A and B are shown apart, each in its own frame.
Chain A
Amino acid sequence: RKEVEQDPGPFNVPEGATVAFNCTYSNSASQSFFWYRQDCRKEPKLLMSVYSSGNEDGRFTAQLNRASQYISLLIRDSKLSDSATYLCVVPLGGSGYSTLTFGKGTMLLVSP
């Protein structure tokens, strides 16, 4: 299994739809995870952190499944402005110094 794997998409959804992305990881010692958002030709920016079973922030919900080694991102009531690439980030290296490894990203396109 690759260290961090994501479905590249693109996911094409209409406004108002609910969409979910999954990210699988290979290092079972990982303790914290992140979802970053990257707009075209911009730098990645933190969307959500996931430290335990999950996290919710408005329309966005991130969940962690340690047994199956995946994290998910759910976006409800999609907006046009949600169109971006969503990057899954996993710290590899255990509980000491960790290196943050990015997936290749999942592209979301929200249409009117």
Chain B
Amino acid sequence: EAGVAQSPRYKIIEKRQSVAFWCNPISGHATLYWYQQILGQGPKLLIQFQNNGVVDDSQLPKDRFSAERLKGVDSTLKIQPAKLEDSAVYLCASSLDSIPRSSGANVLTFGAGSRLTVL
């Protein structure tokens, strides 16, 4: 089974520039997540999609961050304009669905992440 694909792996930009990250989840996974992980901290959920609908975007800084999953498969996360504090690893993950049950349907599988450095 192919894993979660993310690109680019690394990106260096200057503050106020824009950047976009792409994610292709595991085939058949209805739920897609974008997490932000700052060095030394745990992943923080930015946005969660169920198919092409948003389940939770309460921690997404909507003045600068946007995300879409138009066809319910792959997704793009955009930052515009970037700030220094956006330097982090952006992790995409997917799961079969997001309903917690003993079948493990809501177990996350992560991609390798996109490391962003804002100068």
Residues in chain A within 8 A of chain B (CB atoms): 4, 6, 30-32, 34, 36, 42-46, 49, 51-52, 87, 89, 91, 93, 95-105
Q: Which residues from chain A contact B44 at a C-beta distance below 8 Å?
A: 102
Known: A45-B110, A46-B107, A104-B42. A31 touches B48 (CB 8 A): no
Q: How many contacting A-B pairs (Cβ < 8 A)?
A: 69
B14 beta carbon closer than 8 Å to chain A:
no
Smallest CB separation, A96 vs chain B (Å): 7
The smallest beta-carbon distance between B37 and chain A, in angstroms, is 9
Interface string of B21-53 (1 = CB under 8 A from A): 000000000000101000011111100101000
Let me know if B104 is at the binding interface, CB within 8 A: yes
Contacts of A103 in B (CB 8 A): 42
Tell me, yes or no, whether B106 is within 8 Å of chain A by CB.
yes
Q: Given A32-B100, A32-B101, A99-B55, A91–B41 Cβ distance below 8 Å? A: no
Check if B43 sits within 8 Å of A44, measured CB to CB: yes
Chain A positions within 8 Å of B50 at CB level: 97
User: B12 an interface residue at 8 Å Cβ cutoff?
Assistant: no
B99 touches A96 (CB 8 A): yes
